[in-house]
Amino acid sequence: MKKIEIIWRELLSQAIEKGNFNFVQKDLANKFDFSTSTIFQALKTPRKMGAVRVQGRFFSIEDAEKILYHWASVRDLEGEIVFSGHVDLPVFEIEGAMPAEVVFGGYSAARLILEPQTPPADYDKVFVYTKNPEAVKKRFNLDRGRANLFILKADDFLTGYGGKTTLAQTFVDIWNMNDWYAKEFTEALKAKIDGLLP
Q: What is the mean pLDDT of each run of 10 residues along the chain (198 residues)?
A: 98 98 97 96 97 94 98 97 97 97 98 96 98 97 95 98 98 98 98 96
87, 183: one domain: yes
Return the pLDDT at 40: 94
Return the pLDDT at 142: 93
**Helices marked H in 83-141 — which ranges?**
91-96, 106-114, 133-137
> H helices then E strands: how many in the chain?
10, 8
Is-contact 162 139, C-beta < 8 A? no
The number of distinct structural domains making up the chain is 2
115, 164: one domain: yes
Domain-terminating residue out of 74, 91, 125: 74
Domain-terminating residue out of 74, 92, 124: 74
Distance CA(109)–CA(166), nearest Å, equals: 8
Domain that holds residue 46: 3-74
110, 174: one domain: yes
Return the pLDDT at 47: 97
Return the pLDDT at 120: 96
103, 161: one domain: yes
Return the pLDDT at 56: 86
CATH code assigned at 32: 1.10.10.10
Its pTM stands at 0.96
Return the pLDDT at 89: 97
Distance CA(125)–CA(12), nearest Å, equals: 26
86, 177: one domain: yes
117, 175: one domain: yes
Return the pLDDT at 161: 98
23, 45: one domain: yes
Q: Are strands 103-105 and 126-130 parallel, antiparallel or unpaired?
A: antiparallel
